[in-house]
Chain A
Amino acid sequence: MFSYLYQFLDSFSFLVLAVSGLSIIFGMMGIINLAHGEFIMLGAYAMTIMAKASVPLPLAIILAALLVGLFGFVVDKLVVCRLYDRPVDSVVATWGISLLLRQGILILLGPSLPGLTTPMGTFMVGGTSYSIYRMVLALIAVVLLVLMYWLFMHTRFGLHSRATMQNSATAQAMGVNTAQMYSLTFTIGSALAGLCGALYGPTMTITPTMGQAFQNDSFVTVIVGGANPLIGTALSGTVLGVIQSVLNITMGTFFGKMGLLIVAIIVIRVLPKGFSGLVESYMMKRKNR
């Protein structure tokens, strides 16, 4: 029984951490960042290189997230900010950025970087050993969701970003500098991608193409979750986490991956706006109470 819980927490935290950066950018700006996986890869590289230069791991993780955030800020200023009202073109542009990053890292640092060992060791439940670090990741995923909830629901930035998301023209006329909001959102989204890469860096092989593993799962999670970065991420992380962990244990990881894709296809058909659309229409129906 515990192995199910462990698998669920593992899938859940992977999905939530992988998707949060992508979903903030998509939800706020309507921009699909195809370089998301490469931003995650950069986070893993930055963390690994720093950790090998004997920077303490937690600090290396935080610094890596900040560095990728800074990188995202520059990418926004150079490329993405010209495409705010051209979402389709932004797909092509960010795809180009992803190719550049993947090949650039391959040329600069070679086909793989010797990874770190997973820190913190293991614990035993009923004769099976589990990784402590992965449980810490699950905790971080939950903390991240709580922080995002606080940021979006209880701060000025959150209010302005939700207003911008719903009606950017009116938000501008209310005095919100929407271009600045978008730039900040892209920076935060990039930093979250970097954080994800840095957190998972110690658990996997560091290669220039490692981002793809995150990219696929995070796109599925965004599709299932819909445009609302908060409701979407939490709900679809949970639902997909359950589905994936059950399939992983009963039928193997291949079917776990397949299951996610099949769920995505079904959800697009039944709920084109994902879970966010469902929850938002429910909130609108709860009228006059």
Chain B
Amino acid sequence: MLKVENLSSGYGTITILRDVSFEMKQGEIVAIIGRNGVGKSTLIKSLIGLIRPKSGKVVYGDRDITRMKPYERARLGIGYVPQGHGVFPLLTVRENLKMGEMINASGKDKSLEIAYDYFPRLHERREQKAGTLSGGEQAMLSIARTLIGRPKLMMLDEPSEGIQPNLAFQIGEIVKKCSSDMGISVIISEQHIGLIQTCAQKCYALDKGIVVGELAGEEIQDYNCIKRYLTV
């Protein structure tokens, strides 16, 4: 479903990611793990197109999307949950959710009900400005907004950032449920071990912009095994 080949990317003249390659299958949940500053966000932003790759290739389905603009990728069914949640603070919760409809490529059921089913809290707060929500609620709104577009691939950039630790597990559960309910493939960049263990089926560890490790199945559940990629 997604194939990344020798991707190099960065800001201006600075290269952050070097020759990153990986591949994922339909319905899979892949975690990109690593400490702060190793290139997790750069990778996600290169995949959605907010950063233009310097070299390499991104193939989505059977299309080369390396040079596509973010809104074109979004309309192909790639959903993006930005770092720090990226809600539109002065739009109401409902308006934020309406924004998610745009990426609905398949024209499938666009109703906001999917979002309210997963996150009843958002229904209670639908007329409230998104900027007044708590960190955890903003994280949920951001995920819900992407789900409404019925993406085929959902990418989350550190969803646990700025929320209570116990909510991080809940996000992991939700991601897992969405993926299995709707057959969505997921890429999640994270350093919260609990969240990773709750949902990830495969992990790629980044360090200094290079893929330094690959974990699957049992290895992910092994605390010490995963921890060495996340501690300084």
Given A163-B88, A166-B89, A284-B132, CB of A174 within 8 Å of CB of B145: yes
Q: Could you give, for residues 153-180 of chain A, a 1 whenever the CB lies within 8 Å of some chain B CB and a 0 otherwise? A: 0000001101100110111111111100
The distance in angstroms between the C-alpha atoms of A162 and B89, with both chains bound, is 10
Q: Are A167 and B88 interface neighbours, CB within 8 A?
A: yes
The distance in angstroms between the C-alpha atoms of A170 and B89, with both chains bound, is 12
Q: Are B80 and A173 interface neighbours, CB within 8 A?
A: yes
Q: How large is the interface on B (under 10, 10 to 19, 20 to 34, 35 or more residues)?
A: 20 to 34
The distance in angstroms between the C-alpha atoms of A289 and B98, with both chains bound, is 22
Q: Could you give, for residues 86-116 of chain A, a 1 whenever the CB lies within 8 Å of some chain B CB and a 0 otherwise? A: 0000000000000000000000000000000
The distance in angstroms between the C-alpha atoms of A280 and B89, with both chains bound, is 10
A interface residues, how many (CB within 8 angstroms): 23
CB-nearest residue of chain B relative to A166?
B88
In the complex, A270 has a CB within 8 A of chain B:
no
Residues of A close to B230: CB separation below 8 A: none
Q: Are A166 and B90 interface neighbours, CB within 8 A?
A: yes
Q: Could you give, for residues 66-103 of chain B, a 1 whenever the CB lies within 8 Å of some chain A CB and a 0 otherwise? A: 00011100110000101000101111000100111011
Main secondary structure of the interface of A (DSSP, over half): helix
Q: Are A159 and B91 interface neighbours, CB within 8 A?
A: yes
In the complex, B172 has a CB within 8 A of chain A:
no
User: What's the nearest-Cβ distance from chain A to residue B79, in Å?
Assistant: 8
In the complex, A54 has a CB within 8 A of chain B:
no
Q: Are A162 and B91 interface neighbours, CB within 8 A?
A: yes
In the complex, A269 has a CB within 8 A of chain B:
no
Given A166-B88, A167-B88, A169-B50, CB of A175 within 8 Å of CB of B71: yes
Given A172-B71, A173-B80, A175-B74, CB of A287 within 8 Å of CB of B88: no
Q: Are A172 and B99 interface neighbours, CB within 8 A?
A: no
Known pairs A170-B88, A173-B82, A174-B80; list 12 more (Cβ under 8 Å).
A159-B91, A160-B102, A162-B88, A166-B90, A167-B88, A173-B49, A173-B50, A175-B149, A177-B69, A283-B90, A284-B89, A284-B90
Residues of B at the A interface (CB closer than 8 Å) are: 48-50, 69-71, 74-75, 80, 82, 86, 88-91, 95, 98-100, 102-103, 128-129, 131-132, 145, 149
Residues of A at the B interface (CB closer than 8 Å) are: 159-160, 162-163, 166-167, 169-178, 280, 283-284, 286-289
A and B contact pairs by CB, cutoff 8 A, 25 listed:
A162-B88, A162-B91, A166-B88, A167-B88, A169-B50, A169-B70, A169-B86, A170-B80, A172-B71, A173-B70, A173-B71, A173-B74, A173-B80, A174-B99, A174-B102, A174-B145, A175-B149, A176-B102, A177-B71, A178-B71, A283-B90, A283-B129, A286-B129, A288-B132, A289-B128
